[in-house]
Chains A and B, each alone.
Chain A
Amino acid sequence: MTHILDDYAILSPLRYKNNWLKLAIVTFGILAGVSSNSPLVPFFIAVCMSFATVYFGKIPLRFYMKLMAAPAGFVLVSVIIIAFFFGEGEKLFSFNIPGYTLGVSPAGLNMALLVLARTLGGMSCMFFLSLTTPMIELFSVLKATRFPDSFIEIAMMMYRYIFVFMEVALGVRYAQTVRLGYKDFRTSFRSMVMLGTNLFIRSWEQGEKLYLSMNSRCYDGKLMILEDKRPVKLTEFLLTSAYFSLVIIVFYFTRNMFVV
């Protein structure tokens, strides 16, 4: 079976840490990264969060690199374009293509680096959250934020049956593939439609079965939502505070600093 982000999160040791602490770290990281004018702050955040995810979260480095490669590749392309087309004035370097002069100005380069740093910083924060906090844990956070119970319950069941239907869908797709259901565009299209129809009917049936089985267990409109008490430990608190203060210090000293 293919591993998805949620599977890594479930196995991560950081899963059992206080959810609010993790949310606070992530929110702080994103806010600090976005509001800083210097690329150093988001870079610093990206390094710290990646380290935390890989080292404390025990996420395989290879997997993490692969995960980061997607947004990083995208942002690198954008950064090159931004560097060339942003900013006016004196060029740091330039070259001629017939009829046009392309150059990079200091303002453009600064902007490019800032965009790169902010993207990486933001993504590393999001990955930290999604690789250490599985959906299961977020349900109790939703519960604590006074989200209506019915929504949470539906979300919980949806979460559970995503995996059931994913397995069904993979099975059906495999069965179609071995009978050449995806041999060309036309047949692929037909097969996809059949897969979709099948899944729809199955989910309908599953709904009825679910209703039966819940009734058989005296369903009375109540689902148990876990509210584990996980107090923040002193070391965790100190580490987080140190991280926050470091970010703020970097933020303060680099507020008017530009790379070039």
Chain B
Amino acid sequence: MVILETKDLSFSYPDGTVALDNINIRIEEGKKIAFVGRNGSGKSTLFLSMNGTHRPGKGEILFHGKPLKYDSRSLREVRKNVGIVFQNSDDQIFAPTIYQDVAFGPTNLDYPKEKVKQIVHKTLEYVGLMHLKDKPPHHLSGGQKKRVAIAGIVAMDPEIIILDEPLANLDPVGADEVMDLLNEQSYFGKTIIISTHDVNLAYSWADYVFLMSEHKIISEGTPEEIFVQPDKLKAAHLRRPATLEIYEEIKMRGLAKTNCCPRDIPDLVHSLRSQHLLWVDVPPEVKEGDYINLGIFYGEYAQNSAYEAANCKVLHIHDDGLAIAEMDRKAFRAGSIGIYDTAKYSREDLLSIIERDGVECVGAMGKKSKLIAEKDDIYLDVTAGVIDRSILNALAGQRCLILTHDGMVHHAMDRIRAYMEKSGINIPVSVINPNPEEQSKQDVTKSMMT
């Protein structure tokens, strides 16, 4: 369903500079949208038009199919439902304490005091900043400020959340936390729109991408469609995402399968051709065509699993005893991914699961789970890019556990399943401590990897 639409939208600043030129876009509900373009291409102006701040000179904006009206009542309605997180958090956070800033939106929506309090507590809990609620904003780090800014918008419960350059000036950990929040919000059914000039982010994260250049939309489509068109990217003054760049290079060298479009590292790994031929030292009695047992591979020699039995067919023997063999690998044990819902957390329970399942790699996703792990001294092997890392580690035969909570449990599950579907590799994945009613839905796959 289309939630927001613009028709022939044009806007010029009072001094005559054109900022938007005939923009026609349709934004689908619940999608993750990225507007990509270099600085000054009109992204921020477009966003401010979407919540009625800028009144278009020509054309119109439709919200839920109805044209935007500019009387104060309708504007209020639109601004409640289209929240904007500004690029610079200091432009947005103006109250002397975090609590008051998050309470600002709900207060102005005329909610009763008790309800405001409840919303603010819930939101601060959700972004993991409850312990800082009485602090002034200048005592916070950049990442924390950004999360406060997001909390201020989320507290108003908008249908669309627009973020202008959400990752600008953030360190990798801060950026990861912000992306976690956005993914979770997306899972709750919000439409998320971001602007960015980071092609890697747009490529790996978005469902749908608009390329902007010179105040116009120059192309739109799914990331796989957009980022493989070098001329379009060039016109937008952008470069190809690193994943695609690497993929093209290894493909040209014949190391990767053709016709893949890897969006993240697990995809990229999957696109690699498995290495079948290798040089081995063979005893003199072995003849061409024989099978030899190379024993068990483990550690860095085992490519797909922790332990692999390798049988080789000898294809050709050189005079000096070296032979070319074709390897046939068989995994002894496939890795697995368990998801632990920290909403029902207890330390003993978690430790016993780690012990029982022989978990080798623990990761935490979402601020709440990370705080729990930190508080109870649970060692985290992975804190950034947790799902991707866990998939990669499970492919390498490790048993992984992801600590997460609420909406992200399903998000993680979906991501991993999507990977299995795409790659055809089965990774046993399950929620370790599911809700009783969900127990029946849960499927524990036990098959080995191919």
Apart from A156-B95, A226-B97, what are 16 other A-B pairs with CB-CB below 8 Å? A10-B135, A136-B97, A156-B94, A160-B93, A160-B96, A163-B138, A206-B91, A214-B104, A217-B79, A217-B104, A217-B153, A218-B105, A222-B107, A224-B103, A226-B99, A226-B100
CB pair B96 A156 closer than 8 Å: yes
B-side contacts of A216, CB under 8 Å: 51, 53, 79, 83-84
Interface residues on A, range: 20 to 34
Determine the distance from Cα of A118 to Cα of B55 in the docked complex, in whole angstroms.
63
- Cβ contacts A to B, 13 pairs, < 8 Å: A10-B135, A10-B136, A134-B136, A135-B96, A136-B136, A157-B94, A163-B137, A163-B138, A213-B91, A217-B152, A218-B156, A223-B107, A224-B107
Determine the distance from Cα of A15 to Cα of B84 in the docked complex, in whole angstroms.
34
Determine the distance from Cα of A235 to Cα of B336 in the docked complex, in whole angstroms.
57
Residues of B within 8 A of A (CB): 48, 51, 53, 76, 79-80, 83-84, 86, 88, 90-97, 99-100, 103-105, 107-110, 116, 134-139, 152-153, 156
**Contact of B95 (CB < 8 Å), options: A6, A10, A15, A160:** A160
A205-260 at interface with B (beta carbon < 8 Å): 206, 209-210, 212-220, 222-226
A-side contacts of B97, CB under 8 Å: 136, 226
CB pair A161 B139 closer than 8 Å: no
CB pair B96 A217 closer than 8 Å: no
Most chain B C-beta atoms within 10 Å of own C-beta, residue among A167, A213, A223: A213
Question: Which applies to chain A's interface (DSSP): helix, strand, loop or mixed?
Answer: helix
Determine the distance from Cα of A10 to Cα of B103 in the docked complex, in whole angstroms.
20
CB pair B95 A7 closer than 8 Å: no
Residues of A within 8 A of B (CB): 6-7, 10, 15, 134-136, 139, 156-157, 159-161, 163-164, 167, 206, 209-210, 212-220, 222-226
Determine the distance from Cα of A209 to Cα of B93 in the docked complex, in whole angstroms.
11
A68 to chain B, nearest CB (A): 25
Determine the distance from Cα of A135 to Cα of B96 in the docked complex, in whole angstroms.
9
Determine the distance from Cα of A254 to Cα of B189 in the docked complex, in whole angstroms.
74
Determine the distance from Cα of A157 to Cα of B90 in the docked complex, in whole angstroms.
12
A-side contacts of B156, CB under 8 Å: 217-218
CB pair A220 B51 closer than 8 Å: no
CB pair A163 B86 closer than 8 Å: no
Determine the distance from Cα of A135 to Cα of B84 in the docked complex, in whole angstroms.
29
Most chain B C-beta atoms within 10 Å of own C-beta, residue among A6, A135, A163, A224: A224
Q: Which residue of B lies closest to A135 (CB)?
A: B96
**Contact of B108 (CB < 8 Å), options: A6, A167, A218:** A218
Determine the distance from Cα of A7 to Cα of B139 in the docked complex, in whole angstroms.
8
Assuming A215-B53, A216-B79, A216-B83, is B95 touching A223 (CB within 8 A)?
yes
CB pair B53 A212 closer than 8 Å: yes
**Contact of B91 (CB < 8 Å), options: A156, A157, A209:** A209
CB pair A224 B104 closer than 8 Å: yes
B235 to chain A, nearest CB (A): 31
Assuming A217-B79, A218-B79, is B100 touching A224 (CB within 8 A)?
yes
